Amino acid sequence: MVDRLIGDEVVGLFIPGIAGPEHPHRAITAAQDLLILTGHRDPEGPWVPVGAGIHTGLAFVGVVGGNKGQPTDFTALGDNVNITARLASQARTGEILISDEAYTGAGLELGDVEHKQLEVKGKNESIGVWALHI
């Protein structure tokens, strides 16, 4: 589900109750598809430079805002949502940064994928990520 568009950022939600228990796998597959569809495997280069960040964990999902019973937004909130945004902002063109939690939850073996620690704003400890390049 597309949550929102913010400038050059798209936020997608893979809610377990909707996407199913394989939600981390579906998020990674969607990110791969997005990069392929934007030309990241094209020898001439992508027609739009894109990177992605994927993380999983507890978030608060629901309707926020509004007047007199009229909701204005359905969104996800919480620390894990912020971690995902930080990963996305650090992803380079053609790169998908997948947190250790999402990588483990997806149950995928992505082959020779670089693992590294990233410092992210608002966290005292670094975040373990897998850097998948398309």
**Is this prediction's pTM over 0.85?**
yes
Strands 52-54 and 95-99: parallel
Over 90: is that where the pLDDT of 1 sits? Answer: no
Question: How many domains does the chain divide into?
Answer: 1
Reported as a single tens digit per residue, the pLDDT across 22-66 is 999 999 999 999 999 999 999 998 998 999 999 999 988 888 877
Residue 78 has which token pair? 């919480």
Q: H/E element holding 100?
A: helix 100-106
Which domain covers residue 107, as residue numbers?
2-133
Residue 107 belongs to a domain with what CATH number? 3.30.70.1230
Over 70: is that where the pLDDT of 7 sits? Answer: no
Compute the average pLDDT of residues 10-28. Answer: 89
Per DSSP, the three-state class of 104 is helix
Over 70: is that where the pLDDT of 118 sits? Answer: yes
Backbone φ, ψ for residue 8 (5° rounding): -100, 20
Q: How far is CA 91 from the centre of its chain?
A: 10
Residue 40 has which token pair? 């990241």
